[in-house]
Amino acid sequence: MSKPTQALPVKLVFSVFAPAAGILNDTINRLSALYGQPDFVSEQNLFDYTDYYNPEMGQVLVRRFLSMEKLIRPEALPDIKLATNDIEKESAVDDRRHVNIDPGYLSQAHLILATGKGYSHRPYLRDGIYADLTLIYQGKKFCSLPWTYPDYADEKQLSMLSAIRSRYLLQLKMAEPI
């Protein structure tokens, strides 16, 4: 019989994209007000892996990734996704979003993103939120899975996430026992 134990805290991460840098910066400020200061903010890059969002958000989208300094409990992810959905709704004009926020967490073993869409690899959490197993950490690197979105499987993002994971592992070593 297994003995249940408390999960380790995890590293809160966000992908944020929008049609303008100002919207990105405003969103990062809102996320910071809710979840504390980021300890990493990526460079701004074009989000051009898909045109799925273009009809709603426009043809040219820019993106930033961030990780938050404060570690969280993994079971907080549904609440965070619901809060980011509210931010997206508040920024909408005529029911068209001006920002997309994908929250998730990074652990020693994987990257999990929160989503409102169920699928075979997305177990239900609660309140309409599912966990998307996006990447696994294996063989000293993040590895994509058959369903991983191409932008998360890109070597640039894998390298960035590995650097965030290294920071997270240092935080775990310095953290007080739960």
Per-residue pLDDT tens over the stretch 107-139: 999 999 999 999 998 999 999 999 999 999 999
pLDDT, position 51: 82
How does the average pLDDT of the chain come out, rounded? Answer: 94
Percent of residues, the chain, with pLDDT higher than 90? 83
Closest CA to 11 of 86, 94, 77: 77
The tokens describing 65, both together, are 């990734």
The answer to whether the predicted template modeling score (pTM) of the entire model surpasses 0.85 is yes
Average pLDDT over residues 15-28: 95
Fold of 10-174: Alpha-Beta Plaits (3.30.70)
How far, in Å, CA of 106 to CA of 114, rounded?
Answer: 12
pLDDT, position 66: 97
Per-residue pLDDT tens digits for 27-81 = 999 999 999 999 999 999 988 888 888 888 888 999 999 999 999 999 999 999 9
pLDDT, position 176: 62
Q: What are the two backbone dihedrals, phi and then psi, of residue 33, each rounded to the nearest 5 degrees? A: -65, -30
Domain ranges in the chain are 10-174
How far, in Å, CA of 117 to CA of 125, rounded?
Answer: 11
